[in-house]
Structure 1
């Protein structure tokens, strides 16, 4: 479900098929980076330490509207990740996928693209930590590869079949899997097929 109100929220007509990355969300804005699916792995690899290992991940939620009485049914879900050096958030809404990185937890937990996340007037409509899992087996690089392989960037937002909650569950389950360090990753399978013809002799 979308954090940002939009008349096209059910089908994601405003969906950009791009990922927005803010590498220093606690510092003056540099404008961030808009990254396409084709650029995702290479461009992020040039911007971050992809071998940084995930220590902990949490699923957070906040209300869609400040007028809600509770977050129980209608809420936006997102993931907050802790590594040795950074705090990260990753989430999906009607406009695309956003990754934020900061030295300060509040800059990714309480803010979305440098604006305060929607909250209500009571503790039932605050930003809430719904569950937490230890990481340790997954690197940022492996998580980015997983998001890429699942076509998360190009999979247009839909309120039922491809929403924020489903995306958060996908990322969280990948991080907390006890076997995630055993996942086989064949880089050659991700390369474009060669245009060179092989002639049998």
Structure 2
């Protein structure tokens, strides 16, 4: 259910890296790969923290040009529109890919600068599925969410960690209400004795990551989130071992 690059049950070539192409419509530039440790930091340098997702859609295309139908065997990916860009995000047996372009066709029709697989009939062309509004979520918050979910370390598996599962997770994060909140106060030491005097407020964990970075003090908060990621990874490992029996 991943791209046509592999039909293996487990992604033996999974690199635990993210391929990011910030200018997929320009021939003079290319993408580059980052590790989990570099994930948020490097992408933060090129992504506007206030860039909000206007809408997102699930797209799919066949794994092979010789398929007769793509009812079950297909690659799923997400296309997002912001005010200035088109974005795609997907997972396959090699890793996670994020592309950005001024033009929809550069991320919809192309994967890592290669034309996506299509079939011989109109039923096997690139297909647009369900769509949702952005619900005030920024691209950077979505990146933080994927990082917290430890997706780069969650190895591809055909049955329970494939491209369709990943696309559904990303789409659900954009579409559904999200109440995983924290209280953030960047000036807690500046309040007087007035009980009503506060600059703090509640926000999502993914938004708080951006605020902590903006304020320049992230070690304790990041360490806590790293601990959260380790717990998620261990739970995923236990689940994988059980399902592989």
Instruction: Provide TM-score, normalisation by structure 1.
Output: 0.89
Seen in structure 2, the aligned counterparts of structure 1 residues 167 and 90 have a Cα distance that, compared at 3 Å, is: same
Structure 1: distance between partners of 2:221 and 2:101: 33
State yes or no: 1:184 paired with 2:183: no
RMSD: 1.9
Alignment partner, residue 200 of structure 2:
none
Secondary structure at the aligned position of 1:80 is classed as: strand
Aligned to 1:20: 19
Deviation track 1:152-187 (CA, whole Å, cap 9, x = no partner) reads 111110101110000000000000113469663154
Aligned with 1:146: secondary structure? helix
Structure 2 CA distance for aligned equivalents of residues 46 and 130 of structure 1: 32
State the alpha-carbon separation in 1 of the partners of residues 104 and 115 from structure 2: 13
Aligned residues: 192
Return the offset for 1:10.
Answer: 1.4
Secondary structure of the structure 2 residue equivalent to 1:47: coil
Structure 1 residue 124 displacement after superposition: 1.2
In the alignment, what sits opposite 1:91? 90
The answer to whether the Cα contact below 8 Å between 1:138 and 1:181 also exists between their aligned partners in 2 is no
SS of corresponding position for 1:68: coil
**C-alpha distance in structure 1 between counterparts of 2:93 and 2:161, whole Å:** 10
CA distance in 2, matches of 1:29, 1:180: 42
Q: Taking structure 1 as reference, are residues 104 and 150 closer, same or farther at Cα in structure 2, changes over 3 Å only?
A: same
Q: Which residue of 1 aligns with 2:166?
A: 167
**More moved, 40-49 vs 11-20:** 40-49
Which runs of 5 or more structure 1 residues have no equivalent in the other structure? 194-201
1:199 paired residue number: none
Which structure has more helix as a fraction of its residues?
2
Which of the pair has more CA radius of gyration?
A: 2
1:68 aligns with 2:67: yes
Separation in 1 of the partners of 2:4 and 2:66?
15
Q: Show the counterpart of 1:5.
A: 5
Give the CA deviation at 1:130: 1.1
Q: Secondary structure at the match of 1:35?
A: strand
More RCO (CA 8 Å, sep 6+):
1
SS at match of 1:54: coil
Structure 2: gaps spanning 5 or more residues: 182-202, 210-219, 226-245
TM-score normalised per structure 2: 0.74
SS of 1:173's partner is helix
